[in-house]
Amino acid sequence: MPQKSRNREPVKKHSLKFWIAVVTVVLVSAALLFLASPFFSVREVIITGDDRVSQADIRARLGVNNATNLLFLNTGNARSRIMENLFIGDVFFQKDLPGRLYVHVHERRLSAYVEHMPGRYLFLDDMGRVLDERSYRIEPLPVLEGFHFTRFQIGEILEVPDDASFAVVVRYAQLLNHHGLIGRVSSMNVSDPENVRINIYNIEFNVGGLHRADEKVSTIVEIIDVLPNAEVIRAFGDLREIRPEFFFEILQ
Q: How many CB atoms neighbour CB 191 within 10 A?
A: 14
pLDDT at 10 over 70: no
Domain range 110-251, CATH class: alpha beta
Would 38-107 and 110-251 be classified into the same CATH topology? no
Provide the percentage of residues in the chain whose pLDDT is more than 70.
86
pLDDT at 16 over 80: no
pLDDT digits (tens, 9 = 90+) for 27-73: 666 555 555 557 778 899 999 999 999 999 999 999 998 888 888 88
Q: Is 115 helix (H, G, I), strand (E, B) or coil?
A: strand
**What is the pLDDT averaged over residues 202-209?**
95
pLDDT digits (tens, 9 = 90+) for 162-193: 788 889 999 999 999 999 999 999 999 999 99
* In the chain, where the domains are located: 38-107, 110-251
pLDDT digits (tens, 9 = 90+) for 218-232: 999 999 998 888 888
Q: Is 183 helix (H, G, I), strand (E, B) or coil?
A: helix
Instruction: Quickly state the pLDDT bin for 7 (edges 50, 70, 90).
Output: low
Q: How many CB atoms neighbour CB 70 within 10 A?
A: 18
pLDDT at 238 over 50: yes
Long-range contacts of 91-98 (CB under 8 A, 24+ apart): 95/70, 95/71, 97/40, 97/70, 97/71, 98/39, 98/40, 98/70
Q: Could you tell me which residues come within 8 angstroms of residue 190 by beta carbon, excluding any fewer than 6 positions away?
A: 144, 145, 146, 147, 165, 168, 169, 196
| Whether this model's pTM surpasses 0.85 | no
Instruction: Quickly state the pLDDT bin for 1 (edges 50, 70, 90).
Output: very low
User: Between 162 and 122, where is the model more confident?
Assistant: 122
Cα-trace Rg, the chain = 31
CATH number for region 38-107: 3.10.20.310
